[in-house]
Amino acid sequence: MTSRIETRFAQCRAQQRAALVTFIMAGDPDAAISLDILKALPKSGADLIEVGMPFSDPMADGPAIQAAGLRAMHAGMTLNGVLRQVGEFRRHDADTPIVLMGYYNPIYVHGVEKFLIEAKAAGVDGLIVVDLPPEEDEELCLPALRAGLNFIRLATPTTDDNRLPAVLANTSGFVYYVSVTGVTGASRPDYSKVATAVRRIKAHTPLPVAVGFGVKDAAAAAEIALNADAVVVGSAIIDALARTLDSDKRGGPATVAAVSKLVTELAAGVASARR
C-alpha cells in the first residue's frame, strides 16, 4: 500500500515543485491553539507536517524549539496528548502526512509496542527520532517499519560516504538533510554546498531528500527548493508563534494567524523556485 508520504511527494513531483514540510511543537503554547495551528497548516500550504513531541532534554534543538517544548510541557502536553492531537487532526484531514519528531526517552517510557500501535491508530505516518543511530535500529526503527510507519533518518554535513549507507539502510519515507552543522535555528545554509550534498545523497538512494535547519523565510525556502525534494521549516514558524504571546506566554487568534501567514509565504517561495 502506498503511504501518505509517498503519495504526497508524488503529487509534488507531478506539479514540478518541492514539498513544504512544516514543524510545530504539540501543545505550544497550549493544546487548543496548537491543534488550531495544526488544522490550519494544510490550508496555508504545508504539504507534510512534523509534530514535535515535547521533551525535557532536547539536545539537537536550538533555543526557539527548546522554548516551545518547555511551553508545551508547562501547559500539560504529554505523549498521550500528542497522539490525541494527531487523532483529532485526522478527523478533519485524511491526506496530509504527519511525522512525529523528537527523542527516544518518552517513547521508551511509554512502551515501544504500545506507542507504535497507538501512533498508527491515531494516523501518524512516520517518525524522526534524532537520538537513535543506525546501530540501534532494533530499538525502534525496525519495529516501526514492521508496524507500517516510515522511519526517517537525518544526514548531516559530516555524514561522509562511508557512513551514509548505514544511515540510509533502513530509512524510509524521505531523508532529512541537516543543512548546517549545529542545532535547529542556526545560521543560513550555504546553498551551493546544500545542492552538492543533495546530489550526493541522491546517488545513494531513490528516496526524496528534504532539507532543513536555518531556513528562515520565503527567499531561503525558494533557494533550497531549487535542488531539494522538500524544504523543512521549524524554528522560523516557532519564532512567528512566540512573537504573538503575551507576558504569561499565552496565545490567541493572532497566534494562529501569524503562523498561517508565514507558512503561506513559505509555500509561495517554494512554489516559485522552479517556474
Set 6, 50, 137, 239: catalytic member: 50
Q: Are 184 and 61 in contact (CB under 8 A)?
A: yes
DSSP of 13-47, one letter per residue? HHTTS-EEEEEEETTSS-HHHHHHHHHHHHHHT-S
Q: Between the CA of residue 194 and those of 66, 180, 205, 220, 259, what are the distances in Å?
A: 25, 9, 16, 12, 26
The phi, psi pair for 207, rounded to 5°, reads -70, 150
Residue 50 falls in the annotated catalytic set: yes
128 contacts 100 by C-beta, under 8 angstroms: yes
CB atoms under 10 Å from CB of 260, counted, come to 19
CB 143 within 8 A of CB 116: yes
- 30 as an active site residue: the answer is no
Cis peptide bond N-terminal to 29, omega within 30 = yes
Q: Which of 52, 20, 14 is nearest to 266 (CA)?
A: 20
User: What angle, 0 to 180 degrees and rounded to 10, lies between the N-to-C axes of helices 218-225 and 191-202?
Assistant: 40
Active site residues: 50, 61
